[in-house]
Copies of this chain bind each other. A is one copy, B any other.
């Protein structure tokens, strides 16, 4: 890997860690430059539009990782209910391991913090939620759930997952995520029967 692409990756990973742990507004470009140990010119070279463009890249990168994790988890289970339960269990354990305050690539609450400020970032986060909903919907349909029921169930899954994450982070307790995981496993398995 060239030194140049190293600098770009270092900027993006540092920015993602800071944005997702301390928030968009609390993170300044100078802190990103300092903590990524890259020359000042690099950030402006790779992200000429500055903080908003960099945050957009962080959201896309985090989303790619999450979609890969979703697909890996779905591939390891023979039904969507078990896969969702495993996905949220893993999320709960990672959240706890990170001390509920550290780096959480899943914390798309950034969506809301930035949505009042930046239309570009709001739309990027909307795309993230749509991607998650689509990947879950696709697997529900493969399980034999009808299109409309699959769409609605996928929306409930991402809503409850996000809400339980927020309450787990606030309470510094993984129980809300674990309760959501058990519950969504049952809901997902029942989706086929009650459409």
Complexed CA–CA distance, A71 and B70 (Å):
40
Closest to A173 in B: B126
Nearest CB in chain B: distance from A155 CB, A:
6
Contact A156 B179 (CB under 8 A): yes
Copies in the complex: 2
B26 touches A117 (CB 8 A): yes
Known A-B contacts A156-B179, A159-B160, A180-B156; A23 and B166 likewise in contact (beta carbons under 8 Å): no
Cβ of B159 and Cβ of A176 under 8 Å apart?
yes
- A23 smallest CB distance to B (angstroms): 5
Say whether chain A's binding surface is mostly helix, strand, loop, or mixed. Answer: helix
Q: Is A101 an interface residue (CB 8 A)?
A: yes
Q: Which of the 9-residue segments A36-44, A49-57, A104-112, A134-142 touches chain B? A: A104-112
Q: Which residues of B sit under 8 angstroms from A33, Cβ to Cβ?
A: none
A126 touches B163 (CB 8 A): no
Q: Verify A113–B23 contact, CB threshold 8 A.
A: yes
Q: Is the CB of A159 within 8 A of B171?
A: no
Which parts of A169-187 form the interface with B (CB within 8 Å)? Answer: 169-172, 175-176, 179-180, 183
Chain B neighbourhood of A172, CB < 8 A: 122, 126
A122: which B residues are within 8 A, CB to CB?
A: 170, 172
